[in-house]
Structure 1
Amino acid sequence: MQVENNKVSIAYAVFLLQLINWSTARCGFGPGEQDWDHVEVRKGAHLFYWLHYTTANVSSFEERPLVIWLQGGPGIASTGSGCFKQLGPIDIEGRPRDSNWVQHMNVLFIDSPVGTGFSYVESFGEYPQNNTQIALDLVTLMSDFLRSHPEFQRVPLHIFSESYGGKMAPEFALELHLAQQRGEVQCQLKSVVVGNPFTSPIDTILSYAPYLLQTGIVDHDGYTKIKQVTDELSRLISAGEMEKAIIQNTEFLNLIEKITSKIFIYNIQQRRHVDDALGYSTDPKMFDFMVNNVTTALNLTHMAKWRELNTLVFYNLRFDIFKPAVHIVTRLLDETPLRVGVYSGVLDFMCATPGTVNWINGMSWRGKQKYVDAIRQPFRSDGYLEGYEKQGGNFSMFWVLRAGHMVQQDNLAAMSHILREFTNYG
């Protein structure tokens, strides 16, 4: 009889907990229940998260995983580019996005590093100076989030990112795993997946000249000019002359614009008008949309204005931006049970696929031979070839066709395949 009473008490406590958790859900902007908040991760440094509970037809949102989305830059807002341009439930025209991730899983957009998007600092000195600080800030945010949303402590957790997120996400995943091992965080972290990552800047930079030559964007004369600049940029990075490297990189991008007649560096096959902005974080429509609609809906009008790109974030990380994070990926594979994935749109110049393949080939970890021995396989959707995959030793690589820097925007079928591979939507 006592056992039965205990069972009833536990069931009732779980029911009450679920009611309390659901009471945190609010109507934000767009369909479905949401929640959002700022977390002071260090004194004067505040990260912002925006949770979208899944709209999947399930009896409880806990039946679906939680995916964290981190944008690149560094300094580009997940709440803007990620949510409304790439994978959220609606776009900035208010139209439903059929390919949105929220229909399958819970999605947590985080504006990281501090100073990005809705995140903010109280003084200039609170901007992070390196990747490790970014990772620790994210762990602090997740510790707070999981305390205020304890239902997600039991839900499979996956970290997805793109571009500079290919440096941030692996170290965040490693630090979150270590915090979990120390008993400081309760979570079910399963994988970290990076898209068109800037994980090894030198490998990426050295791939530029041959990539443009082999795709027909430049001739041998252009190749020679670009190679001279990238070789010097690589030398500066190797010598630790990071400020000079930043200046050299700016000159390099100007050279690319001139030699290629303004090729769109995020997708070399995308048709762009000569007057179009060449970045993917410089859309004035996005700023107006966020300030005039989202800020009001989330009751953040009293805060500093949302920024799609904060150059001060980039400036404060200038000594760290070109440092590699391959050793962090190696530690994830050697020291944790996490699955690690890389996907790369083959039409991207900014983080070109050959550079990504080069750092993966040069990386050593205890399970590497299984990856080396694995056969690269095609993957299809409705009979159409979408790309190729190679998996082994807890590591996966996906080559995505008809896609550039933003795979989740360019090739929806391929992205859906990758999402299922890691999360199985459950």
Structure 2
Amino acid sequence: MELPRVAVWLLSFLLIDSGRTEPASESWGYVDVREGAHMFWWLYNGSGGNFKELPLVMWLQGGPGGSSCGFGNFEEIGPLDRDLKPRNTTWVKAASVLFVDNPVGTGYSYTDNNGFAKDVATVAEDMMVLLKNFFSSKAEFQGVPFYIFSESYGGKMAAAISLYLSKAISKGEIKCSFAGVALGDSWISPMDSVRTWGPYLYSTSLLDDNGLSEVRKAAKAVEEAITQGDFLKATQLWSTAESVVEENTNGVNFYNILTPASEERVSSVAGHGYLALLVRRHVKPLHRQSLSELMNGPIRKKLKVIPQNVTWGGQSEAVFSYMAGDFMKPVVDIVDELLAAGINVTVYNGQLDLIVDTIGQELWVKKLKWTGLPSFNNLRWTPLDDPAAPGQTGAFYKTYQNFAFYWILKAGHMIPSDQGNMALKMLTMVTRQE
């Protein structure tokens, strides 16, 4: 079978690390994952020596519609920040990092025939085409431990992708050394998140009794729609529940309860459809104007491969809209399948995250049918020092067999942005470099 076309361009950039300047290489390109559906990827080879001695990490952003090549790269874990200055906590120090604009239509990825994905199954199928192409064209990575790290809705996609990948490897369809998946502040069980918003906000003095009652009522409406199997309605009611939260908390930031929310997210303008409101809350913050100017300006000019009619982030709203009917569906069963298959699964969550609060994450974890769960639950967690503040606790973690959970303190939804040193330490622990 002929592989889809892929265009690759190479160059070098300089990484500044502890006063040393080291060359590192990049590559990027497009893969046609379906007819008229073009997915963009961007790889940074790990620095500090032979990249084959380091793991390969694929990073998947949330949204759906958030750009890994944009936000994940320049706002979280890439070698440069959005001001194009070296990032001290870049994950390229400890791994080669593959960013993918996923699903199709996200970031620089695009479709010219409305070939948007409508569910995580299609997302996973598309990714299999990309990964088959990647590991075939870059055979040097086939023997390198390969991990999938994710954030937010990216975690839901990562779970499905991991299951598809493990099956493709067993059938000999893809050659790679898949070593595990990490689900960061992930939308694995949407209802468990929504039902715990009220208690979490109440316990942090962000709701009074009246507000707690209203948020619980809104969450109950979402739950009823899910019980009835009306997931599109559940997504709409989820948007309503968020508005109820905003009204009763004076506009709490869903991504970090201690950080002021932007005016764009707080204000609910009458006449806007619920999907437009959701996009404004959950995709636009990943495409802030300064990042958009960077990606559609200097970075676009550097890459030299983006079609003239494609704007970075231009199809992201459509990506979210097409996935709306799948958005509130849980994938806890997929996590169970991964664990039963012996695949390493890590869950990590930020203490200050609201939209995917840690309480909700713990709820779905306790529902797992994984045979190791009772032993995992009986373990006491282990504290981890904050690398940026020795002697202070930066996180707790527990691990048993092929499952681990990290509780990251003083971090919200975007852990690498809020606690970069702690996130980097977690990466090295998950990938067994320490």
- Do 1:40 and 1:46's aligned partners in 2 also have CA atoms closer than 8 Å? yes
Alignment partner of 1:312 out of 309, 314, 318: 318
Residue in 2 aligned with 1:367? 372
Residue in structure 2 matching 1:339, options 344, 356, 363: 344
Are residues 1:285 and 2:290 paired? yes
What residue number does 2:44 align with? 52
**Could you tell me which residue of structure 1 aligns to residue 196 of structure 2?**
207
3-state secondary structure, aligned to 2:142: helix
Q: How high is the TM-score relative to the length of structure 1?
A: 0.90
Residues 323 and 157 (structure 1), Cα distance of their counterparts in 2 relative to 1, 3 Å cut: same
Tell me the TM-score normalised to structure 2 length. Answer: 0.88
* Aligned-residue offset at 1:424: 3.3
Encode CA deviations 1:366-385: one digit per residue, 9 max, x unaligned. 22233123221211132210
Identify the residue that residue 99 of structure 2 maps to in structure 1. 109
Structure 2: stretches of 5+ with no match in the other structure: 1-7, 16-23, 267-280
Distance 2:425 2:62 in 1: 22
Aligned equivalents of 1:286 and 1:363: distance in 2? 39
For 1:30 and 1:77, locate their aligned partners in 2 and report how far apart those are by CA, in whole Å: 23
Say whether the 8 Å CA contact 1:370–1:393 is kept in structure 2. Answer: no
Q: Mind listing any 5+ residue stretches in structure 1 that lack a counterpart?
A: 1-23
Aligned to 1:153: 142
Paired residues for 1:96-175 under 5 Å: 96-124=86-114, 126-175=115-164
- The root-mean-square deviation of aligned C-alpha atoms, in Å, is 1.9
SS in 2 for 1:174: helix
Quote the residue 2:405 is aligned against. 397
- Give the number of equivalent residue pairs: 400
Q: CA, structure 1 residues 30+136, in 2 after alignment: closer, same or farther (shift >3 Å)?
A: farther
Task: Find the counterpart in structure 2 of residue 419 from structure 1.
Answer: 427
Please state how far the C-alpha of 1:322 moved relative to its aligned partner: 0.5
Q: Report deviation, 1:200.
A: 0.3
1:242 is matched with 231
- Contact 1:386–1:413 at 8 Å: present in 2 too? no
Letter of the aligned partner of 2:42 in structure 1? W
Give 1:196's aligned residue: 185
Q: Is contact 2:189-2:329 (8 Å) kept? A: yes
Change (3 A) 1:334 1:273: closer
Relative distance call for 1:275 and 1:203 in structure 2 (3 A) is: closer
Kindly indicate whether the alpha-carbon contact (under 8 Å) linking 1:28 and 1:297 is maintained by their aligned counterparts in 2: no
Kindly provide the amino acid, as one letter, of the partner of residue 70 in structure 1: L
2-structure distance, mates of 1:416, 1:313:
30
After superposing on structure 2, the runs of 4+ consecutive aligned residues of structure 1 that deviate more than 4 Å are 28-31, 271-279
Residues 51, 299 of structure 1: alpha-carbon distance in 2 compared, 3 angstrom cutoff: same
Q: In 2, Cα distance between the equivalents of 1:250 and 1:227? A: 14
Contact kept in structure 1, 2:258 and 2:352, CA below 8 Å: yes
Is the CA contact (8 Å cut-off) linking 2:29 and 2:305 kept in structure 1?
no
2:381 is matched with 376
Partners of 2:333 and 2:45 lie apart in 1 by 34
Q: Secondary structure at the match of 2:297?
A: helix
Instruction: Indicate the larger mover: 276-285 or 373-382.
Output: 276-285
Q: CA deviation at 1:266?
A: 0.4
- After superposition, give the CA deviation of every residue in 1:134-170 in whole Å (9 maximum; x if it has no partner): 1111111000000110000010100000000121001
Does residue 27 of structure 1 match 2:11? yes
- Taking structure 1 as reference, are residues 49 and 301 closer, same or farther at Cα in structure 2, changes over 3 Å only? closer
Tell me how far apart the structure 2 counterparts of residues 333 and 70 of structure 1 sit (CA, whole Å): 20
Q: 1:87 aligns with which of 64, 77, 80?
A: 77
Q: Confirm or deny: 8 A CA contact 1:80 1:308 kept in the other structure.
A: no
The match for 1:4 is: none
- Is residue 299 of structure 1 aligned with residue 304 of structure 2? yes
Contact kept? 1:345, 1:407, Cα under 8 Å: yes
2:224 and 2:339 mapped to 1: Cα distance?
A: 29
In the alignment, is the contact (CA less than 8 A) between 2:110 and 2:315 conserved in 1? Answer: no
2:118 touches 2:323 (CA, 8 Å); kept in 1? yes
| Structure number, greater radius of gyration | 1
* Structure 2 match to 1:232: 221
Matching of residue 42 in structure 1 with residue 26 in structure 2? no
